[in-house]
Structure 1
Amino acid sequence: MVKRNLFAGATALTIAFSAAATAETATMDYQDIFNLEYATGAQLAPDGKSVVYERRSMDIMTDSTRSNIWSVTLDGAKHTPVLSGKASYRMPRFSPDGTRMAYVSAVEGKTQIYVRWLDSGQTARVTDLQMAPSSLSWSPDSRHIAFSMFVPGKQTSLFTLPPKPKGATWAGNAKVIDSVTYRRDGSGYVPTGFSHVFVVPADGGTPRQVTSGDFHHRGSIGWLADNKTIVLSANRSEDWEYETDSEIYAVDTLTGDYRALTDRKGPDAAPIVSKDGSKIAYLGFDDTLMSSQNANLYVMNADGSSKRSLTDDLDRGVSGIEWSLDGRGIYYSYDDHGKTLVAYASTAGSSRIITNQVGGTSLGRPYTSGDFTVAGDSRIVFTQNRTDRPADLAVVDRIGRVTPLTSLNEDVFAHKKMAAISEITFKSSHDGRDLQFWIATPPDFDPSKKYPLLLEIHGGPHSAYGPTFSAEVQMYAAKGYVVVYGNPRGSTSYGAEFANLIHHNYPSEDYNDLIDAVDQVVAKGYIDEDQLYVTGGSGGGVLTAWIVGNTDRFRAAVVAKPVINWASFSLTADGAPYFTKYWFPDMPWNIPDHYWKRSPLSLVGNVSTPTMLLTGEVDYRTPMSETEQYYQALKLRKIDTAMVRIPGASHGIYAKPSNLVQKIGNILAWFDKYKGAE
């Protein structure tokens, strides 16, 4: 959608709120979050001269993210809407014959698959589904579309109530849960049923289910050249609820017969079929039970023969694979030293880096992110990373020349002064390892003055921050804080050995790395050493609580969506089979001391720092019970504390723009409360 229409129909109060950012406001402010836009999901158009993409914007009226489909030429000269309005339009996919574009939308109520004829612009709804479709994939002859969809099953029942009297009002039937994972963050309690793959005629008709069994079939779907065989990844083992093992399967859409193309201990996923249907690229690794494991890029023949890895020497986790248009190689992305790169590997074995400027699709915190698509002639279109803007589209050619294609946020930020981001590298005081962090300085920063310092810690713990846009970091800096953030041991993008330094050992010396980063910035001379603050979410919440349990150096802390007690977390989080298997050497009842000594709750008796807790009320990744334990413990110790519960928020608090605003605002209010306090 076009952002200037964002406030159409808003109440007077909302208009006043949005108008608060006047020409006198020179820095980022809260209302800017409701105006953010970013590009993602680009797809090369059949003309080869343009791409369509999802233009995502914040909708202040519905408190959500809206996605419209826009087109931009590869020289950036023509930028026009394709499907735009109040409804969201997502997942554009062009037919192989170049005549149509499929997409999904809930413009008529429930999410359905639509097809748009490119010559006439006419659109037809081709499904009448009760559940939302995903993973659209055209058959090579452009006659069918495969997609994945959840199929509800019969709810388990152990007892039936006797008939109730006429007119009686009873509480309802009990809900019986018998699955291992019974709730998932972001979607709530898991309904009975499984995700399956369907095929529907591209001209419309009745979808036909082609996968079977009590197993989930999700993720990318490919077609072989015969127009009847699809390729997908699924975990069809007897212990699928307890295992992460998955294989690549070829499934006959006419008979439903399965043929396994891979067979090893470890996940194989994301199959992509080459244009001629002769080869399949995919991601996978041999499971070693380490908490951080890098996915490699593999290629095999369409019948499953001649499997080989193209990235054995990379020591980075590969994602986002796409075949070159000539079928001679595969483009892929990976994170390296806090940046997201796109590289190319030929099937013959050679490789080269295309760009290291990918990012910008993680709006809240400065995580690595981004995506790309192949544009032909050795070019790719990608989401371009900047520290002061969310993702725009850009194209890079064979010699590395980058041409920006969009400029989605200039109306918001061109007249504002943004935080400057600079890199610092230093040696760990614990073992001399190289560490990489970044410093965000306030607009109009003057190194001769003294500033409060805010340490921001990433989650994961196996993830990575980088020099990329972050609404949270920019807001902290706009309010006068110098922000330091980066990648302590355990972070990805530095190799498996560095990431696994915290294997069965978390939190541990990552604490030292974070304190070293603070010391490095303090040593620069522009920090008020009596005004140090710390916050972090998820794994960063764990480390924030660990920090205040080990030092009273910080004036105030905000522990966001944390794990406080590893034993209770491992039995209430939505990934219990994974956490107990990969993050710990045994179950909590067998090694309670191991779980306890890594739990921040074990150090609560040391805490003297004013510490606020902040968590989404429907967070099932780090459940609210973790926050409540720490809050109650701090209260019993009479430590200054408060518990902020973000309404309707899951682990991804940023999913609703108002919740992202509330998160930032409450953190800053807590720190401001203790500024200058003795």
Structure 2
Amino acid sequence: MQSRITLPVTLLLASTFSIEMSAKTDDKSVWQYEDVFNIEYAASPKASPDNSLIIYERRAMDIMSDGIRTNLWSLDIKDGSHRPFLSGKSQYRSLEFSPDGKRVAYVSNSEGDNQLYVKWLDTGDIARVSEVQSGISNISWSPNGQWIAFSMFKKMPSKGIFNEMPKQPKGAKWAGTATYIDQKRYRGDGVGILPKGNRHIFVVPSEGGTVRQISKGQYNHGGMLSWTPDSKNILFSADRHEDWQSRSRESDIYRINIDTGETVNITSKPGPEARPLISPDGKRVAFLGFNDKKMSSQNYDIFIMNIDGTRQKNLTKSLDRPINSPKWDSKGKGVYFSYDDHGQKYIGYVSIKGKIKTKLAQLGGQSLGRPYTSGEFAITNDNQLVFTQANTNRPADLALLSKRGKVTKLTNLNEDLLGHKKTANIKALTVKSSVDGREIQAWYALPPYFDSSKKYPLILEIHGGPHTAYGPNFSTEVQLMAAKGYVVVWSNPRGSTSYGEDFANLIHHKYPSEDHNDLMDVVDGMVRKEFIDKNNLFVTGGSGGGVLTAWMIGNTDRFKAAVVAKPVINWLSFALTADAYPYFAEYWMPGMPWDQADHLWKHSPLSLVGNVNTPTMLLTGEVDYRTPMSETEQYYQALQLRGVDSAMVRIPKASHGIAARPSNLIQKVGNILAWFERYKTDVE
């Protein structure tokens, strides 16, 4: 185990407080903050063409780099042997088997910058096959094994319009050159100011050689790349319309010739068509798409068509659930896919005739911070499924589903960390909405060593999105909260996905609204349990959950304290400061913000700040461009002007995904619990 470390955080408080928890902070039999640095999980499994080998990404928290280290490990399907394939301090990721199974391509920074490599499995020889400047993604072998395609960002020269700047004297230290921006999409969360340029498709000989760009134009070309059987053309998804920067959810499927660069538009329906995948016999294409109705929540369906784009057919029209990751079976008779249902992710299958099978396996374990749905899978050539297995108390391990339906667990990546620890017990809860009687699904975690004769404080944890889904899934944050003696409850109020588009769109153009009532109904359901201390109720949530947390304390004084994480406080300001502002203005708002000021203000938590009496902490990443820090600062300053006990925590080097750095995940949970401990009173 690593020793406890103290990390810096910028903290502004109305008054100081100490981090003292009711549970013993040195009790190694339960989750501790330093345990975050020892988490591992499985991702991106790939099966060899001969069905003998699985290679997957083994991702581990790195205490020295404060990030995630990704190595490649292999599993022998027959004897179960588990060994490193490419391992060490360097990053190894994005592995793809060659069609004959004798080689693998992957991306690594083993020689400094990220490049493409090929490894021969019989000898272990490795060749570097690229010399590029930007990040490589979407690796795809040609069927004949001669080429490897990938997508990559290509930077364009960017010059300002001012060219009369005086020459800087030798030795002078000027501020630097001004940044000139004239593109609509100019900033991205986790990236910052976007360089000028576009993603393009490239090919390189699989034995090394010249990397050649084959796509053209000032458009982004990326996503899944699928080769035609003759190894002469690639199918991809893009929006090649001249006004693509304004079209947030538009894309078509194209075919590009790798020799000439000739690009042919195959689909042209309104809305997105994405992730094209050619069938094993080369006759059909499966892809994801939907008819864009400009609703804030819309589910993808799986379509198939002839390879020339004719005879398009929706295979999953009857399955009203979020669908992703289509993969042809080995004989081209149908498509496997993942989908969310009632807060959990599953593998499904649909035949080319439209017959659907559901809940073949349950996925999970890859959302380390909060209990969101997650998971990946792969298919062997004999139609066995390798997947990241769901577990309420463990991050993702790999499991194998045989053709006969037997599930075999393949890895145990966290038993050394958690096998000797007492973890939270997860229970289900369903309540009736006081708004319209709909069933609202929820789950709660009981502290380790739970005693039903005692009273426990309650934390309501609210998911973001708002169009996402929680479930009985692994969550480091929930485990840490429970280990400190709290019962934690989370739910899927109206607006959540995995219950159908109608349920998700109940908040369309009116968010937040009755989702607040659903959440309070969940709190009422918990308070009716004898082990909940009704005088110690707390609330927190991030992103969309931060919006709802601020909305709730503007409507009730029922909570002892609140932590509003990375919120939207004022829809008017958010509409013109968020990184994805073209999308938000078109899909989340009934019109341009200057034309909808009354509507947006009506749904802004800032409009209710005059009602707030609840002690409130604001917590946001310092480089969050999705829900910018200015939103947090508005609310903090408003609370300070009103004299409400309040604090602002600014998480260093954190974008919207605070949990991307292990130390920041710890700081997030630690500050939330410290704030709640400050206001928690003795059990009644």
Structure-2-length-normalised TM-score: 0.95
Equivalent residue, structure 2, for 1:228: 232
- Structure 1 residue 82 corresponds to structure 2 residue 85: yes
Q: Deviations over 1:392-412 (max 9, x none)?
A: 000112343211000000000
Conserved 8 A contact 1:156-1:177: no
Equivalent residue, structure 2, for 1:218: 222
- Structure 1 residue 162 corresponds to structure 2 residue 163: no
Equivalent residue, structure 2, for 1:35: 38
Conserved 8 A contact 2:117-2:128: yes
Q: Distance in 1 between matches of 2:5 and 2:328?
A: 51
Equivalent residue, structure 2, for 1:385: 390
Which of 202, 206, 218 is equivalent to 2:206? 202
The residue correspondences of 1:130-529 to structure 2 (distance < 5 A) are 130-160=133-163, 161-243=165-247, 244-529=249-534
Secondary structure, in 3 states, of the residue corresponding to 2:56?
strand
Secondary structure, in 3 states, of the residue corresponding to 1:91?
strand
Conserved 8 A contact 1:223-1:277: no
Secondary structure, in 3 states, of the residue corresponding to 2:572?
helix
The verdict on how the C-alpha distance between 1:12 and 1:621 changes in structure 2, with shifts beyond 3 A counting, is closer
Q: Alignment RMSD, CA only?
A: 1.7
- Structure 1 residue 59 corresponds to structure 2 residue 59: no
Residue identity matched to 2:76: T
Q: Distance in 1 between matches of 2:381 and 2:537?
A: 50
Conserved 8 A contact 1:251-1:259: yes
The verdict on how the C-alpha distance between 1:13 and 1:298 changes in structure 2, with shifts beyond 3 A counting, is closer
Which ranges in structure 1 are unaligned for 5 or more consecutive residues?
15-20
Conserved 8 A contact 2:285-2:304: yes
The verdict on how the C-alpha distance between 1:518 and 1:24 changes in structure 2, with shifts beyond 3 A counting, is closer
Q: Name which of structure 1's ranges 383-392 and 393-402 shifts more when overlaid on structure 2.
A: 393-402
Which ranges in structure 2 are unaligned for 5 or more consecutive residues?
8-23
Q: Name which of structure 1's ranges 208-217 and 152-161 shifts more when overlaid on structure 2.
A: 152-161
CA apart distance, 1:677: 7.8
Secondary structure, in 3 states, of the residue corresponding to 2:681?
coil
Residue identity matched to 1:136: I
Which of 108, 112, 124 is equivalent to 2:111? 108
Which of 67, 70, 73 is equivalent to 2:73? 70
Secondary structure, in 3 states, of the residue corresponding to 1:550?
coil
Q: Deviations over 1:80-101 (max 9, x none)?
A: 1100000110011000021100
Q: Distance in 2 between matches of 1:252 and 1:376?
A: 28
Conserved 8 A contact 2:575-2:581: yes
Which of 646, 659, 671 is equivalent to 2:664? 659
Secondary structure, in 3 states, of the residue corresponding to 1:241?
helix
Q: Deviations over 1:462-516 (max 9, x none)?
A: 0000111000001111111001101000000000000000000100000000000
Q: Distance in 1 between matches of 2:78 and 2:556?
A: 54
Conserved 8 A contact 2:25-2:32: no
What percent of counterpart residues are identical? 57
Equivalent residue, structure 2, for 1:17: none
Equivalent residue, structure 2, for 1:18: none
Structure-1-length-normalised TM-score: 0.96
Secondary structure, in 3 states, of the residue corresponding to 2:111?
coil
Secondary structure, in 3 states, of the residue corresponding to 2:591?
coil
CA apart distance, 1:654: 0.4
The verdict on how the C-alpha distance between 1:291 and 1:258 changes in structure 2, with shifts beyond 3 A counting, is same
Q: Distance in 2 between matches of 1:592 and 1:655?
A: 35
CA apart distance, 1:356: 4.1
Q: Distance in 2 between matches of 1:331 and 1:139?
A: 22
Residue identity matched to 2:504: A
The verdict on how the C-alpha distance between 1:353 and 1:73 changes in structure 2, with shifts beyond 3 A counting, is farther
The residue correspondences of 1:526-675 to structure 2 (distance < 5 A) are 526-675=531-680
CA apart distance, 1:181: 1.6
Conserved 8 A contact 1:75-1:403: no
Q: Distance in 2 between matches of 1:12 and 1:627?
A: 28
Conserved 8 A contact 1:27-1:417: yes
Q: Distance in 2 between matches of 1:156 and 1:353?
A: 54
Q: Distance in 1 between matches of 2:213 and 2:80?
A: 43
Conserved 8 A contact 1:339-1:356: no
Conserved 8 A contact 1:354-1:400: no
Equivalent residue, structure 1, for 2:11: none
Residue identity matched to 1:162: P
Q: Distance in 2 between matches of 1:12 and 1:318?
A: 41
Q: Name which of structure 1's ranges 411-420 and 22-31 shifts more when overlaid on structure 2.
A: 22-31
Q: Distance in 2 between matches of 1:601 and 1:458?
A: 20
Secondary structure, in 3 states, of the residue corresponding to 1:579?
helix
CA apart distance, 1:446: 1.5
Residue identity matched to 1:127: S
Q: Name which of structure 1's ranges 271-280 and 388-397 shifts more when overlaid on structure 2.
A: 271-280
Equivalent residue, structure 1, for 2:16: none
Instruction: Considering Cα pairs closer than 8 Å and 6+ residues apart, tell me whether 1 or 2 has the greater RCO.
Output: 2
Q: Deviations over 1:587-628 (max 9, x none)?
A: 111110001000000000000000000000000000000000
Conserved 8 A contact 2:464-2:545: yes
Conserved 8 A contact 2:369-2:665: yes
Conserved 8 A contact 2:400-2:409: yes
Residue identity matched to 1:155: S
Q: Name which of structure 1's ranges 410-419 and 22-31 shifts more when overlaid on structure 2.
A: 22-31
Which of 107, 119, 122 is equivalent to 2:122? 119
Q: Distance in 2 between matches of 1:434 and 1:12?
A: 44
CA apart distance, 1:74: 2.6
Residue identity matched to 2:205: P
Conserved 8 A contact 1:235-1:245: yes
The count of corresponding residues between Structure 1 and Structure 2 is 665
CA apart distance, 1:166: 4.0
Q: Distance in 2 between matches of 1:350 and 1:251?
A: 32
Conserved 8 A contact 2:48-2:54: yes
Residue identity matched to 1:158: I
Conserved 8 A contact 1:76-1:405: no
Q: Distance in 1 between matches of 2:264 and 2:202?
A: 17
Q: Name which of structure 1's ranges 160-169 and 208-217 shifts more when overlaid on structure 2.
A: 160-169
Q: Distance in 2 between matches of 1:534 and 1:114?
A: 48
Q: Distance in 2 between matches of 1:203 and 1:503?
A: 52
CA apart distance, 1:261: 1.0
Conserved 8 A contact 2:4-2:33: no
Q: Distance in 1 between matches of 2:394 and 2:5?
A: 29
